[in-house]
């Protein structure tokens, strides 16, 4: 795994110290698990084929509830292909791809369990443990000294100031990383020899996440966003022409509701670039609000218009984290505007659900 071998040598330097020094005071603190996953999505057939073995070793290690996270990690690491499917050889100090499939899974589960135990001891959140699978277990110690909660910004700083310099990149040299999860944050780059500070976002693409519990199932939008939802609801039950640029097409309908409420807000463009050029920001699923837009985006080509692409306006968020939407052209070709209740963070195979927020 790119980044894990790099950090292994950083972690080794701490092993000569007492374990208490590595983990802090050693006192048990609350393990902040507010962002628990509730299932897996968009996994490859190769990863799904390994589920029984992952379940076996997760049970042996006493973390049976972490199977979905482990499968998501495997999806990010290898997509379930090759021998060292969990890319866990380096966590044992071995060269990359040393382990075969079953030993790789056994060690990967063991390594992740260690990351979880560190997070619990230090009072860190769950995503710190996930990030530590890639960065190395010392990341838990770093987060503990910086607020106990993982964020992309904190992981960025750790990558730049700790990981990269440990392998000779003391100047912050970057390289292009045009992954869809990276572009909204920094335009798409990582630090040379710095691991992947987007690792948690990559893993979360394959998980259904709980809500933050703030939803109540009603339209909570204000200002022009409230008006956009109201315009959408007025169209419910009506059908409009479909075809390129037709009002009944899903994305054209959403553009119409938003621009009808505030002209010029949603600039037509690519499936992804249209949002970026409009100044919209990508937010996590569990932060969705009334007036946001859910866009199904192709994993390989984010601007691809093809079967699987779909656009929905968020009407409201429920207490359980599911979302109620207004949408057009479902079923495809109908041009029909309708409401759908209780949708989850899922998309067709090869696609991902992106939540976009426009400036108020």
145 and 45, same structural domain? yes
Q: Which residue has the tokens 């899974």?
A: 105
Q: What is the pLDDT of residues 49-89, one digit of tens each?
A: 999 999 999 999 999 999 999 999 999 999 999 999 999 99
- Rounded-to-integer distance, Cα 297 and Cα 355, Å: 10
The last residue of a domain, from among 166, 184, 209: 209
Q: What are phi and psi of 40, to 5 degrees?
A: -115, 150
Question: Mean pLDDT: which of 176-180, 215-219, 248-252 is highest?
Answer: 248-252
Q: Which residues, other chains included, contact 13 with Cβ-Cβ below 8 Å and sequence gap of 6+?
A: none
Half-sphere exposure of 129 (CA within 13 A, CB side): 27
Write the DSSP assignment of 298-317 as a string of letters.
ESS-TT--STT-EEEEEEEE
185 neighbors 154 (Cβ within 8 angstroms): no
Can you give the CATH number for the domain in which 342 is found?
A: 3.90.1720.10
- Count structural domains, the chain: 2
Let me know if residue 217 belongs to a domain: no
pTM recorded for the entire structure: 0.61
pLDDT tens for 187-235 read 889 999 999 999 998 998 788 665 444 455 677 889 999 999 999 999 9
Q: Are 130 and 73 in contact (CB under 8 A)?
A: yes
Three-state SS string across 343-360, please? ECCCCCCCEEEEEEECCC
Statement to judge: residues 280 and 175 lie in one domain: no
| Statement to judge: residues 340 and 260 lie in one domain | yes
Q: What is the pLDDT of residues 121-152, one digit of tens each?
A: 999 999 999 999 999 999 999 999 999 999 99
| Residue ranges making up the domain that contains 70 | 4-209
Which residue carries 């987060």 as its tokens?
Answer: 143
User: Same structural domain for residues 174 and 301?
Assistant: no
């Amino acid at each position: 795994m790119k980044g894990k071998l790099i950090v292994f040598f950083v972690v080794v330097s701490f092993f000569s110290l007492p374990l208490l020094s590595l983990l802090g005071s050693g006192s048990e603190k609350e393990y902040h698990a507010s962002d628990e996953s509730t299932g897996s999505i968009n996994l490859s057939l190769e990863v799904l084929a390994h589920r029984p073995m992952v379940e076996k070793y997760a049970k042996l290690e006493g973390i049976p509830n972490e199977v979905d996270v482990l499968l998501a990690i495997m999806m990010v690491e290898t997509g379930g292909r090759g021998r060292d499917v969990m890319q866990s050889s380096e966590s044992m100090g071995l060269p990359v791809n040393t382990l075969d499939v079953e030993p790789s899974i056994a060690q990967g589960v063991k390594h992740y369990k260690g990351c979880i135990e560190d997070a619990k001891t230090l009072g860190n959140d769950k995503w710190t443990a996930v990030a530590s699978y890639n960065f190395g277990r010392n990341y838990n110690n770093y987060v503990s000294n910086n607020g106990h909660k993982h964020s992309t910004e904190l992981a960025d700083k750790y990558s730049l100031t700790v990981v990269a310099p440990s392998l000779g990149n003391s100047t912050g040299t970057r390289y292009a990383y045009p992954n869809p999860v990276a572009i909204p944050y920094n335009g798409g780059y990582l630090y040379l020899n710095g691991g992947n500070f987007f690792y948690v976002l990559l893993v979360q693409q394959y998980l259904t996440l709980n809500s933050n519990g703030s939803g109540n199932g009603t339209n909570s939008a204000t200002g022009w966003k409230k008006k956009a939802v109201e315009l959408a609801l007025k169209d419910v039950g009506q059908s409009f022409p479909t075809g390129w640029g037709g009002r009944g097409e899903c994305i054209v309908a959403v553009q119409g509701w938003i621009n009808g409420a505030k002209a010029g807000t949603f600039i037509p463009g690519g499936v992804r670039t249209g949002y970026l050029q409009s100044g919209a920001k990508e937010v996590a699923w569990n932060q969705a609000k009334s007036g946001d837009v859910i866009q199904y985006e192709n994993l390989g080509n984010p601007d691809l218009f093809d079967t699987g692409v779909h656009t929905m306006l968020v009407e409201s968020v429920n207490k359980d984290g599911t979302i109620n939407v207004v949408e057009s052209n479902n079923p495809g070709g109908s041009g029909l505007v309708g409401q759908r209740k209780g949708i989850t963070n899922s998309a067709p195979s090869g696609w991902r659900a992106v939540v976009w927020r426009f400036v108020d």
